[in-house]
């Protein structure tokens, strides 16, 4: 399956080739999970504080399907 | 409580709204709201709640005003540098609206003192700036059944949600508890444009006002994320996690702890 992944805020520092913008196109095995995505794009799990899949706040165990749009946010707790 | 003539004049522009009216204004004047943190979020939030006539505002902060705060913490001013933020806040809010009661707490909240303070209020607004305080507030509001109005910011990004204990998603349902909570961020990563907490703090204030009035749609079951640089506003769906360690069906957290770290 193919999904789109957008690391937001300072997680975009992990995108090495930003020639195609801030959204990454990622190809995965059919039963892949969020952890597999993180391995492929090279962001350590502990940097992730919020996971959004298709406009729904999701968890690290959430399933993925073809065409999903995934957004990651780092810790954001300033006031 | 019947509105007096001065109150009718002061609040006329909002009393004129059918969603508010004199009855709604009376509700606002009766409301007791606790704002934890008088920084970037707490500044606009407390100013608008005071202006709207929230009758009792508790304000909690243990910090003193610093020059570096003034780029975004619009409640404070140069003449209060080195003075407690809650003194600055009380003076400013009381000058803005002498009709309301402002109660300052010049303390850092912990598992012991939060319970007595929470007990005095119907509504809690999290305008704090660190995860230890945020998780303590979250857990206390879940355990003591207080609606919580959460906001957080960094760089050009802001997040805001409304938490109804054991009904809508809490902080622990929304966010992953990872080791990055103890990570030291760089100055660049900690930078913030002053208008970002301004916007989020005002949304927190509007949520509180609507909750008191019972009007409109609230951000429970929603997380609003803003990106000022790209001017994006996204309203995301959320849901309470049945397995949440504090608000789930079989919670592990049954009493408050001080959170040097929050991993379980």
- A50 located within any domain: yes
**Above 80 in pLDDT, residue B1?**
no
Residues from chain B contacting residue A34 (CB–CB below 8 Å): none
**Planar angle of CA B223, B225, B226, nearest 5 degrees:** 155
Dihedral sign of CA atoms B179, B180, B186, B191 in order: negative
Q: How far does the CA of residue A39 sit from the closest CA of chain B (Å)?
A: 16
Rounded Cα–Cα distance for residues A28 and A36 (Å) = 8
| pLDDT, tens digit (0-9, with 9 covering 90-100), for A16-48 | 766 666 899 999 999 999 999 999 999 999 999
Q: Give the rounded percent of residues in chain B with a pLDDT score beyond 90.
A: 90
| pLDDT, tens digit (0-9, with 9 covering 90-100), for B112-169 | 999 999 999 999 999 999 988 999 999 999 999 999 999 999 999 999 999 999 999 9
Q: How far does the CA of residue B79 sit from the closest CA of chain A (Å)?
A: 22
pLDDT at B184: 77
Could you give the number of structural domains in chain A? 1
Give whole-number Cα distances, B161 to A21, B59, B99, B127, B235, in Å. Answer: 29, 20, 29, 12, 10
C-alpha R_g of chain B: 18
Domains, chain B, ordered by start? 31-237 (3.40.50.720)
- A79 located within any domain: no
Strand A24-27 and strand A2-7: the pairing is antiparallel
Please answer yes or no on whether B169 and A57 come within 8 Å at the CB atom: yes
CB-based contact A75:A41 (threshold 8 Å): no
Give me the residues of A, 29-48, that contact B with CB < 8 A: 45-48
At A11, which CATH number?
3.10.20.30
Residue A52 burial (10 A CB sphere; 0-12, 13-18, 19+): buried
Tokens of B149: 């109005």
- Domain containing residue A55: 2-70
């Amino acid at each position: 399956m193919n999904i789109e992944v957008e690391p937001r805020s300072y997680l975009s520092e992990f995108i090495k080739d930003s020639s195609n913008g801030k959204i990454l196109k990622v190809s995965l095995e059919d039963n892949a999970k969020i952890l597999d995505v993180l391995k492929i794009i090279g962001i350590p799990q502990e940097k992730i504080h919020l996971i959004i899949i298709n406009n729904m706040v999701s968890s690290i165990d959430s399933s993925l399907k073809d065409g999903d749009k995934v957004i990651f946010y780092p810790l954001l707790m300033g006031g | 409580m019947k509105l007096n003539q001065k109150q009718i004049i002061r609040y006329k522009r909002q009393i004129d709204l059918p969603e508010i009216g004199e009855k709604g204004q009376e509700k606002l004047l009766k409301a007791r709201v606790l704002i934890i943190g008088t920084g970037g979020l707490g500044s606009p939030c407390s100013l608008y709640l005071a202006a709207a006539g929230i009758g009792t505002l508790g304000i909690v902060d243990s910090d003193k005003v610093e020059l570096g705060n003034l780029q975004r913490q619009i409640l404070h001013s140069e003449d209060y540098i080195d003075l407690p933020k809650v003194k600055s806040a009380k003076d400013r809010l009381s000058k803005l609206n002498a009709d309301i009661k402002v109660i300052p707490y010049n303390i850092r909240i912990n598992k012991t003192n939060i319970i007595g303070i929470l007990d005095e209020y119907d509504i809690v607004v999290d305008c704090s700036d660190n995860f230890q305080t945020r998780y303590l507030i979250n857990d206390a509001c879940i355990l003591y059944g207080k609606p919580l109005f959460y906001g957080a910011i960094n760089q050009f990004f802001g997040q805001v949600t409304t938490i109804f204990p054991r009904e809508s998603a809490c902080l622990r349902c929304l966010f992953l508890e990872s080791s990055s909570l103890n990570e030291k961020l760089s100055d660049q990563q900690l930078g913030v444009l002053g208008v970002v907490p301004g916007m989020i703090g005002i949304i927190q204030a509007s949520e509180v006002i609507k909750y008191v009035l019972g009007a409109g749609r609230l951000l429970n079951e929603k997380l609003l994320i803003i990106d000022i640089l790209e001017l994006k506003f996204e309203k995301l769906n959320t849901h309470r996690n049945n397995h949440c360690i504090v608000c789930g069906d079989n919670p592990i957290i049954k009493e408050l702890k001080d959170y040097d770290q929050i991993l379980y």
